[in-house]
Structure 1
Amino acid sequence: MKTSRRGWIRVWNLALAGVLSQIGFIPVVAVVGAMLCGLWLDLRLGTRPVFTAACMIVGAALGLVVMVRTAMTAAAQFRIERPRKPEQPGSESSSTFEEPSS
């Protein structure tokens, strides 16, 4: 089964859109990871809310930056399908149905 170039472009774009639909999880993972690191530091150093709050703020900022950069990079990889050329009004088209003469 041979797939045309247009088919591959469509498959590529759909796969990329599927990956991009998951991009909103990047800031969530960054904030939760930073919170866990902050809690661990506060537990070790005995400074309960200081490192947790600071790490969550830094994690949120880094998560947003990474999300935007990833989205911009992925958006640049979308492929554009070129429209088919319109058929000339006087030319014979292969897509028209001709009834056989009997």
Structure 2
Amino acid sequence: MAALLAAGLDGIESKADPGKRNNENLYEVPEEELRRRGIDFLPATLSEALDCLEKDEVVKTALGEEYAAYYLRVKREEWRQYHCSVSAWETDHYLGLY
């Protein structure tokens, strides 16, 4: 909650432009059109999200530098462990092929 409040306050103080209001379902808009409109995408993976957090001084300050460093360390290890495991989908999909 602290990070959300800090980010919102930072946006107000810096007079960040939130962009035009949108009422359409963006899941139905082709990716090329979203890019043409300048609509940014959220991180697609935990690793990408952690990279964004690592660069975000406002959120890291709101969380506290020590906790932010701990969180990043723990979540990077979680990501590493995730990539060392074989998912059920991989087993089901690939085991029969070879």
Shorter-chain TM-score: what band? 0.3 to 0.5
Instruction: Give the greater-gyration-radius structure (CA).
Output: 1
TM-score, normalised with respect to structure 1: 0.34
Return the structure number with greater relative CO, CA threshold 8 A, min gap 6.
2
